[in-house]
C-alpha cells in the first residue's frame, strides 16, 4: 500500500541517502561498530522516518515539527560523515553531495508548508507607507 510520503522526492532521496550510508559503513573498522557506524546509521534512518511520521500527522504544524527534526538529523549525519572522512574511513563525497540535495529539498518542503500556516491579509487597496494626500 502506497503512503502519501512515498511520492515525495525529499523522502525518496532521504531513503537513498540512508541506503548509501548503510553500504558505506560496512567497510568501517570493527572498532567503530558501536560508535560512529551506529551513530551514522541512526541519523540516516531518522531523516526519512521523521518525514514519514510528519506526513502521517493531522496538521501542518505537526508536519513542520517532524520536518525540523529530520533537518536536525540530517545536520548530525553531515557532521558524522565529515568526521568519518577526517578519520580516513573512506571518502564520503557522494553521501555528502546527497546530503546537500536532501537539505535543499527539505528546505523547500518546509518553506511550502510554512507558507500554508502564514495568515494572508487581504489587500486594502490603500497606499502603504505614504500619506494619501501626497
- Report yes or no on 122 lying in a domain: no
CA-to-CA dists, residue 48 to 9, 15, 20, 109, angstroms: 11, 6, 13, 13
Residue 47, domain CATH? 1.20.1440.60
| C-alpha to C-alpha distance for 10 and 125, rounded to whole angstroms | 39
63's grid cell: 508536519
This prediction's pTM: 0.85
| 92: containing domain | 4-117
Please choose, from the candidates 90, 92, 64, 67, the residue with its C-alpha nearest in 3D space to the C-alpha of residue 78.
92
- Report yes or no on 125 lying in a domain: no
Q: What is the pLDDT along the chain (134 residues), one digit of tens a residue?
A: 778 899 999 999 999 999 999 999 999 999 999 999 999 999 999 999 999 999 999 999 999 999 999 999 999 999 999 999 999 998 889 999 999 999 999 999 999 999 988 766 554 544 444 433 43
Q: Are 13 and 44 in contact (CB under 8 A)?
A: no
pLDDT of residue 132: 37
- Report yes or no on 44 lying in a domain: yes
Amino acid at each position: 500500500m502506497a503512503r502519501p510520503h512515498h511520492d515525495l522526492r525529499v523522502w525518496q532521496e532521504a531513503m537513498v541517502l540512508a541506503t548509501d550510508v548503510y553500504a558505506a559503513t560496512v567497510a568501517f573498522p570493527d572498532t567503530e561498530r558501536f560508535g560512529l557506524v551506529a551513530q551514522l546509521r541512526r541519523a540516516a534512518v531518522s531523516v526519512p522516518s521523521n518525514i514519514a511520521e510528519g506526513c502521517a500527522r493531522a496538521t501542518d504544524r505537526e508536519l513542520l515539527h517532524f520536518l525540523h527534526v529530520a533537518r536536525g538529523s540530517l545536520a548530525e549525519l553531515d557532521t558524522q560523515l565529515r568526521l568519518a572522512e577526517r578519520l580516513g574511513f573512506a571518502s564520503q563525497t557522494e553521501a555528502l553531495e546527497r546530503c546537500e540535495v536532501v537539505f535543499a529539498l527539505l528546505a523547500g518542503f518546509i518553506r511550502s508548508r510554512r507558507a500554508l500556516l502564514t495568515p494572508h491579509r487581504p489587500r486594502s487597496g490603500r497606499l502603504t507607507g505614504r500619506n494619501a494626500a501626497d
